[in-house]
Amino acid sequence: MRKPLLLSIAAFAWASHSIAQENCVELAKTIGINYSKSLDVDQQRTVAKADLCSESYSKASSSKQAQLQASYKLFSGSGSAAAAEVQEAQSRHCENRYGEYWRNQISSGEARTVSNEGAAVISTCLSMAADSLHPTLDIANEGREVTMAIQYKPTIQSEIQITLFGPMDLEENKCSVTKQKGVIKLSQPADVSQVLKPTESITISCTRPSHPSQQNGVSYNCTKETIFNIATSGPVKAIKVPRVCSETIQESRADKIENRVQVLGAQMATLQASLKALAGVTAIQNECGRNADNQINCNAKCSDNERVVSGMCTVLQGGGNIQNFGLSPSTNEWHCLWSGNTTRGRTVAFCAPR
């Protein structure tokens, strides 16, 4: 009489495992995509191929198959990763070579680190699924906004205590979490503590700062890698949320040249206008000594058929300071005033035809 019940439980457990594996594949894909953004296109392709060919799908464990499915999605850009699709891709691209052969094609240490993250997140995710916890992750706004959710889906009716969830550094990461049918801001890690009933979930949203970075002469804004810790009554589990670098949009070289040409064109137009204005300009000068107030008050005046456009003040003797100078349109003069040790000065008025 118990066989139907046992079969139902077994079927439910198998379905839960299948869903958990698919969730973990998507989680690994999200993390893999964002990790690979720090690599150039050639490195991304090399890493994706090395991960796809890390082990034969037909001989892999279920957790390794999940990793290969995530790798296939990254490699192909496909939204699905059925076993037949992964195996066909391996037969076409892996040349019947698996494991270290393709990893040895990865030239940079950073790219090797990216390649290792897929296996790590799959392992952590499946370990959480064994506790009926199913994580999902969304990374947005060029890596600055991270949202992670965990849904509790036990095979038997029970509750679970979430004691830790999210980054430990809440000074740099500004986070809020769902709690008691509301949302609270986190000031300390213990604020997340709560009990989940079957099908309930907990969601944490964090804003990460970005910092300018230079890589190979290119300007980027980069976030830091963030470690999200998850704990119930057992050991703490950790999921690394990758740093994300987005290229700073700058003027292209062509735009810079075009803007420079426009500036030079404007400068040439101003110069041409100045030269045209100076055509026919004459200079009237006047030399002066000190007056009764122990100052040199010296003016140079243009003729009635000319107008003063500029001028110049020159000390001829002594070393005093000029106190005032400038154009006087009402008298059609250029004015210079010295004091101190200056004993003689010259004022020049530049006059243009009216």
Which residues are within 8 A (CB) of 24 and not within 5 positions of it... i.e. 6 or more apart? 66, 70, 121, 122, 125, 126, 129
Which residues are within 8 A (CB) of 190 and not within 5 positions of it... i.e. 6 or more apart? 163, 164
Percentage of the chain lying above the pLDDT 70 cut:
78
- Let me know if 147 is exposed, middle or buried by CB neighbors in 10 A (0-12, 13-18, 19+): middle
pLDDT of 129 > 70? The answer is: yes
Q: Worst-scoring range by mean pLDDT, 101-115, 185-199, 215-229, 273-287?
A: 101-115
Binned at pLDDT 50, 70 and 90, residue 329 comes out as confident
Q: How many CA atoms lie within 13 A of 120 on its CB side?
A: 16
Percentage of the chain lying above the pLDDT 90 cut:
21
CA dist list (Å): 137 to 134, 143, 205, 216, 329? 10, 12, 10, 30, 74
pLDDT of 319 > 80? The answer is: no
Binned at pLDDT 50, 70 and 90, residue 212 comes out as confident
The structure tokens listed for 10 are 């077994």
- pLDDT tens digits for 148-184? 999 999 888 899 999 999 988 888 899 999 998 899 9
- Looking at residue 205, what is its pLDDT? 94
Per the model's pLDDT, the better-predicted residue between 149 and 70 turns out to be 149
The structure tokens listed for 212 are 């300018």
5-12 contacts at long range (C-beta below 8 A, 24 or more positions apart) = 9/155, 12/155
First to last CA, the chain: 118
CA 207 to chain centre: 13
- Is this model's pTM higher than 0.85 or not? no
Strand ranges in 242-321 using DSSP code E only, listed in sequence order? 245-247, 282-289, 296-301, 306-317
- The Cα–Cα gap between 105 and 108 comes to 9
- Looking at residue 98, what is its pLDDT? 86
- Looking at residue 88, what is its pLDDT? 93
**Mean pLDDT on 30-48:** 67
Which residues are within 8 A (CB) of 249 and not within 5 positions of it... i.e. 6 or more apart? none
β-pair type (145-152, 201-207): antiparallel
**Mean pLDDT on 50-73:** 84
- The Cα–Cα gap between 171 and 156 comes to 39
- Looking at residue 20, what is its pLDDT? 60
- Looking at residue 4, what is its pLDDT? 46
